[in-house]
């Protein structure tokens, strides 16, 4: 459960913004979307390898 304490003289908008930030950090929405359709472990692994290679390529380009 996410708890956001509203401070004195704090607007509801700021408190709502802090709640949304905390909620995004939990990753609940991402997890729900991932669970909508089953992906095989081999496909997950392949995607991770492709993403890692992409990140490595970007890092190498920045170092040059």
Distance CA 5, CA 33 (A): 29
Q: pLDDT digits over 35-62, tens only?
A: 999 999 999 999 999 999 999 999 999 9
**In the predicted model, what is the mean pLDDT of residues 22-26?**
94
pTM listed for this prediction? 0.55
Residue 29 and residue 53 in contact, taking contact as beta carbons nearer than 8 Å = no
Residue from 23, 46, 44 nearest 35 by CA: 44
Distance CA 25, CA 20 (A): 9
């Amino acid at each position: 459960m996410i708890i956001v304490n509203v401070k004195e003289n704090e607007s509801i908008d700021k408190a709502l913004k802090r709640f949304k930030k905390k909620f995004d950090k939990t990753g609940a929405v991402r997890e729900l979307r991932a669970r909508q359709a089953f992906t095989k472990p081999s496909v997950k692994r392949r995607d991770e390898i492709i993403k890692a290679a992409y990140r490595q390529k970007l890092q190498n380009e920045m170092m040059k």
